[in-house]
Structure 1
Amino acid sequence: MTRQNCADASGYVFDNDGDHSADQHRYLAELLDPLTFGRLAQTGVTAGWSCLEVGAGGGSVALWLAGQVAPAGRVLATDIKPGLIPSRPGLTVARHDVVHDPLPAGEFDLVHARLVLSHLPGRRRVLERLRTALRPGGWLQIDEIDVTRWMAPPGSPSTSVYGVYTAAMARVLGAAGADPTWGGAAAGDIAEAGFTDVDPVCWTETWEHGSAGIGLLVSNSHHLEDRLLEAGMTVGQLHEVREVMTDPGFTAPSFAIHSILARRPAEG
């Protein structure tokens, strides 16, 4: 079900084999799972459903889905590097590149992808492939970020170095072919890909000391250190921004999370 070189071909900057990969997925789960699970519940996902989790990462969403569809349902959790996805009854894990590798047609009641399509070339074509993989009337949920307004509060003493960091992060993602602003355009692209009943919501919060959002940013500063240096940051700036982000008084707006529900049109 996989191409041997799919991990190298993807250009994805967050390597699941990295020293900070487990921390990244833990923080993402703590930060985003409540929103993701709440939206997925709106589909009515229940016992007996067949679900596809694309780019399952650490597997928290796949495990939740497997619990919802048990005992008769099944979940297929895919990733280009699926080694962090745990196993349980009803959950199948597969190495798979959604850009190139085939998917069965008309097989799934629900397809979900979180922070995946913004990293992929030809994401509109991928949306069409996901539509084909759904049964008529099946559900799609896409959760993505938009960093357009992602910055420290105006007038904050940390604005300078934190702004340098977030701008460098956006450059790192862009250099790898990702679009970290795609969340704001995702609903339109999903509609253009032939889905109906498109229902987007947008979520933001303020990140404070000890929050999953701040933990994620600190982890990413280590995970992507070499790439951030290539993008123009200095070692001194990286040390400084880590001190800023772990200061008990530091707060910053989150990036925007866009969660879009949609359906494959019912035939006939």
Structure 2
Amino acid sequence: MTHVQTAPGGYVFDNHNPHSGEQHRCLAAAYDPLTTERLAATGVGEGWHCLEVGCGGGSVARWLADRVGPTGSVLATDVKLTDIPAHPNMSTAEHDITADPLPEDHFDLIVARLVLQHLAERDAVLAKLVRALKPGGWLQIDEFDTSYEPVLLAPDDESARLYEKFLAAKSELMRRNGGDPSWGRQVARAMRAAGLVDVDPLPSARPRHAGSPDIGLQLHHTYHLWDGLLSVGMTGEELHAVREVMRDPSFRASSSVIYSVQGRKEQHR
């Protein structure tokens, strides 16, 4: 098994980690239905010009590319690009949203899923995204609040304690890297403070059980974040053991709350 150390001060899910492909597959399986349903509600269609920040495996960007048609465009960016299947209506670019510029008043729709809560500069990044929208354009930010992820049923008390330790270790790892694992609940207020109107937060949660997409994502984190989790106090034995807890047919938990928040840039008067 290959383990890659998480660098302090950076995004904990490194796209150059050998486990990143599975991270993207798990995220798509668990959250693409929510993300794309919300995007569809903006009316995105032929001729729209869209940006996805932190495109990961590119599944959302490709969905958008299907919608905008040949007269529209989708720019899919990430600080480290992976191999994303090509699409005639989509281009890709390596782009550090914390440092690199974006064109102003340019995009009809911008989406950022599970990106800003990892960034210490999230307020400045949000302001940059608002400036990049055309007047009347839409911003959608989907983020977790991991302060709510209760165990509902576990094989025994020790299993529940171990799972809770695993979740707490992930949150601590994120904080050490400049993130805020509960920022999802702050997104709507942050978007309104940034000047957006018609801000609409939609919270949702889903069950975690053996075989569910969301528990698959949690299992994957025991591999992808192995070194980081060891650095915040878990042991290798505990990580192996918590995998078995999550694979137990009797295990039940709730996901964290994910907030899908939309807002619109006001039209010039």
Which range, TM-score by smaller chain? over 0.9
Q: 3-state DSSP class of the match of 2:152?
A: coil
Q: Which ranges in structure 2 are unaligned for 5 or more consecutive residues?
A: 1-6
Q: TM-score, normalised by structure 1?
A: 0.94
Residue 180 of structure 1 aligns with an amino acid whose one-letter code is P
Cα shift readout 1:114-167 (whole Å, capped 9, x = no counterpart): 000001122111111111101001000000000011131277622110011001
Q: Is the 8 A contact 2:48 2:108 kept in 1?
A: yes
Q: Is the 8 A contact 2:149 2:254 kept in 1?
A: yes
Structure 1 residue 85 displacement after superposition: 2.5
Alignment of 1:127-206 (within 5 A): 127-153=126-152, 157=156, 158-206=159-207
Give the Cα separation in 1 of the matches to 2:267 and 2:8: 35
Q: 3-state DSSP class of the match of 2:151?
A: coil
Please give the root-mean-square deviation of Cα atoms over the aligned residues, in Å. 1.4
Residue 143 of structure 2 aligns with an amino acid whose one-letter code is E
Q: TM-score, normalised by structure 2?
A: 0.94
Distance 1:228 1:120, change over 3 A: same
Q: Is the 8 A contact 1:151 1:162 kept in 2?
A: no
1:56 alignment counterpart: 55
1:20 alignment counterpart: 19
Q: Which ranges in structure 1 are unaligned for 5 or more consecutive residues?
A: 1-7
Q: 3-state DSSP class of the match of 2:92?
A: strand
Cα shift readout 1:54-113 (whole Å, capped 9, x = no counterpart): 000010000000000012100000000112332210101000011110001111000000
Tell me whether 1:75 sits opposite 2:79 in the alignment: no
Q: Is the 8 A contact 1:134 1:264 kept in 2?
A: yes
Q: Is the 8 A contact 2:169 2:232 kept in 1?
A: yes
- Extract structure 1 runs of 4+ deviating beyond 6 A: none
Q: Is the 8 A contact 1:78 1:94 kept in 2?
A: yes
Structure 1 residue 210 displacement after superposition: 0.5
Q: 3-state DSSP class of the match of 1:82?
A: coil
Distance 1:89 1:238, change over 3 A: same
Q: Provide the identity percentage.
A: 49
Q: 3-state DSSP class of the match of 2:260?
A: strand
